[in-house]
Structure 1
Amino acid sequence: MRVPVRHSLVTRLLVTSVLIAIAATTATAWLATTTATRAINQERGRSLTDDKGVYDMLVEYAATHEDWSAAASLIHERAAALDRRITLTTPDRRLIAESGGGPALDAARPSATVDPLDLDLTLTGGTDRIDPRVVGPYGFTTAERKELRVVAREQRDCVLKQGLDARIEQEPGGRPRVVVSGPDQQAVDRVSLGCQSKLTGYVSASGRRALAELSLAVGTCLKLDDPEQLHVTAAGTMFVAPTDGREPVAVAEEALLTIDSEGKAARNCLDRERRAQLQPYVAPPALLFVTDPRTGADRTTFTLSRDNIVRIVTVTGAVLLATILITVLVGRRLVRPLRALTDAADRQTPVAVTARDEIGHLARALRDSAQRRDRAEAQRRAMVSDVAHELRTPLTNIRSWLEAAQDDLAPTDAQLLNLLHEEAMLLQHVIDDLGDLAAADAGTLRVHREHLRVRETLAHVVDSHRGTAQSSGVTLVIDVVGEPVVDADPVRLRQIVGNLVSNAIRHTPAGGTVTVSAHGATVTVADTGVGISEENLPKVFDRFWRADESRSRSTGGSGLGLSIVRKLVEAHGGTVTVASAPGAGTVFTVALRVPEKD
């Protein structure tokens, strides 16, 4: 008698598998899309390539114009090229110019502040906060430019006669500059010195007047008795004219240090007065907003194209179809022995098994026994395989480097010794972990208890792991209530907490937090990491188990750390528990014994 299709195990298994597959593929597709969107948004948020181009363009404009009246055309052209909305406002957010309408930007964060007299060094990558293109009163007349070009050509010809290459470049202020190149720096320096001209120190007539005004302003700022004694050069250096007839340069440093022992006040005065002098020649500071023209956000939201949607649907359908086919095949294979047992029962053979009699119970007991045996054998094989896997890589590396050294393919130097030492330390780490577990299994693991202050131990562990946490972008926090004391081995307790902290750091993404806390005899290590699924929680203390099946050290250590934690805690007479959920982080709680009162 055959079972109706609606009650068939194949049907139930098929329906269950299809529902699981649909849920899994839908969740996977959603997760992949969400993850990709977040990653691209983060990358676009961090990438300032387009924003920097807009910033450089507007800084150049501001450095060469006294207002923003002609900036609209530049903004429109760049916005069209980038498909972005570019808005320029005053510091109090009154509109100056924008490429197009859109949502209000009252609460938006500006991309940068455009001020050629106070550059954003994170965008420019330089060290000078005043843009070199701000010429102000230091520009050259047509006659002065002509004279400088003649001098530059003479200097270039002098260099060429010495057998080196030279070219004339134009600086932002209109001053020509001769760039010398040659086979070695000594020759370049020697020829450059021999062919020096007045290009570098030449100051225009208006520039000399501006320097005199600047010198007087800086001297007044420094509150000198005679501000006219202070002189500022075109290169930005300062000196105080001597009163004893000596050359100014000979006493420049000595005189300035007499006025300002560290030179900071003089430099601050010079920067402030330079900005005040150049302010009328540049456009006023403005806030720059580079946003999405549709949403007003400062980044563009990633959306799936039609091709990507079709691709995801196709892959999802293929996975679903493959799941159905595999489920049917597996289901038929599972049903075949049941049908054989049913036929044997119809023939009244001794192998008849039902779920309602002793034979059925025996069959289930035998099945359970076989499953336990298979699990034990699988665990044994997995442990042997894992031990071999953990030992094979460092041994192979050591052997490869030694053979390379024997064949003179690698130098026998400190670098090779360091490599061999690192691999040997990996072997030692695995062997030590296995030794601790073997001692725990044999009941020979000993702990030397004493009255231990928990705060000092946790602080030591946190300090030793702070460098690893910082390199991973994880914040490490310690929180101890009062001054708890426990009955524990100090070395083993550091090992317990250290294993938990390193495990938490490893599974916490950048920007997360790992908190080590203690209250009474309870020590807790909590993280804001990826979490552990409910079905994997019972496995976290198994040997060589990792959530990442690839068993890579980049996502896990030797796979023995948590097993050692459990054994060490049990050796102390305590307990260790774990609570976690995917995406909600993980909390390990270690409960130790409180010292008995004398």
Structure 2
Amino acid sequence: MRADVPLHRSLLLRLLAVSVLVSVCSIAATAWLTARSTTVAIRQEQGQALADDARTYDTLLGYAATHPGWDGAGEVVRRLARDTGRRVTITTERRVPLVDSDAGPPATLPARPTASIDPLHVDTVLAAASGAPLAQGTPLASVPDHIDPRAVGPFLLPGKERDALRTAAERRAACLRGSFGAAATIADSPSGRPVLDTEGARPYSETRCVSTVLDRPTATEAKALAALQKLVDSCLERRHESKVRLNLDFTWTPLPAPVPAQAATDDGPRGSVVPECVTGSRREQLAPYVAPPAMLFISSRGGDTSTAFDLSPENQARIAGVAALVLLITVTAGVMAGTRLSRPLRALTDAVRNMEEGRAARVEVKGKDEIGRLAAAFNAMAERRERLEELRKAMVGDVAHELRTPLSNIRGWLEAAQDGLADPDPELVSSLLEEALLLQHVIDDLQDLAVADAGELRVHAEPVDVADLLAQVATAHRGGAEAAGVTLVTRADGRLPLVADPVRLRQAVGNLVSNAVRHTPPGGTVSLLAHRADGDVVIDVADTGSGIAPDDLPLVFERFWRVEKSRSRRSGGSGLGLPIARKLAEAHGGSLSATSVVGEGSTFTLRLPAHGHAGAHSSGPDRRTR
């Protein structure tokens, strides 16, 4: 009874489920990897952009701190643009272009500038990102007055004073190293004054390695400090505060009370008035020496439009849409592939069911892929099965006939003798014995085939001379051949030693000779030929009979098959001689083949290895006599 495969067990559903699962996993993994990579890339790009912006800002801030204007900044701006790969534009606070890294039409400026370049009002965020150099041990981003330490103005030392201070600093460093083993290093401040770092030195070392040159201002510094002192005094006077005395590091000492110096950030009774006056006065003093405030614009070469991919809701929707499209295409392709695969399998299933019910079964072969090859193999199997079924039916009839005829003869003559209708004389006994031997011969042949089919055919290999063996076979069959008017001829190329079972080999060759004599008309010739070829011994049994049709030639080794379809004993034997001969050849590790030309005759070629077969002593029943 036919039953369709349940949907949950169908091949199509399984293929579709696997395709969908693989697609979902691959899409999810790809989307996750893409999102993660994009996020990391965006963060890296943003970090790099911030670092480039900060470096550009710091460089231009340093230029503004050391130059009174922007006239000579073109080369610096172009170098920064080459290093960062971006366009750098400097404008006034009213957006009037001052310097542009790119030639050609003016840049379209963004709504907001990247930064404001003012060395007297430093942007601490960009300064911190830039990693700006230290100013007397203090990071640029943490300077409380937001004045760039590189803006020194009138405090910039001439070469002569720098050399004198450098000599004094080196002398003091040598004293500290020689007397106290202190690690003393010298660094130059933006004004050119050397700064001695005595970290790790003992407190009393400062008093023993005193340098009056280092501890007091130079003439240039004294003059600039005096001008700054006047500005601070004027500021304090306007705000009704008592005066202070400024030090070279811009700290102060209140007057007239001689108290220790305090930092500009101390929160004294005067609050923030003194720090404000000091910072304001410094800016007033430095203004002529620094470039005027400007706005910095940093943009991409092609404009300010960003092409970076982000994970905005719109981009997330695009990702989801593409993933859904890929999944749809995958499902469609899976359905098409599954249908293409399952359709021929269903056809094969129907054909097998037809074969099971005894009907003819064939499937249409389309394509040369695995399914096409499977269909072709199935059709070949079906044809083979039908042919074997026909042979089986014919074999049953042949076996019944071969056994029934001698049995009927024996029974008939015995009943006649019992009823007194025939005399059991020697002639009758001889006839009955002949029928019994014929019956025994058929049974022995069937037994040989059964043993060979089971792989238990025993052969006892020993050295054999092929020429002698052919002579023995010819002698045994010469009487029958002469009675049929057929001439037997033997010819061997010298001595041909062979390791084989002589009894089984005579049986195989004898079957071939009997078959040849039977199908050769009177006056014909049967030739037994032997020679060596490629290390094998080849025995040919050729006749000059009617030959075998090309369509029948592949069937000559089938059991109970005969060229003459009738069951006449005159024209054919049992139909088992040739199959037995092939089995015996295979038991020796050889082969048996046939060629034929209709009207000229047939040749059966027995090829055996000269040195015997490794399996020649396999176990099984042995029948040494025939």
Q: Normalising TM by the smaller chain, what interval?
A: 0.3 to 0.5
Q: TM-score, normalised by structure 2?
A: 0.42
Q: TM-score, normalised by structure 1?
A: 0.44
Greater Cα radius of gyration, structure 1 or 2: 2
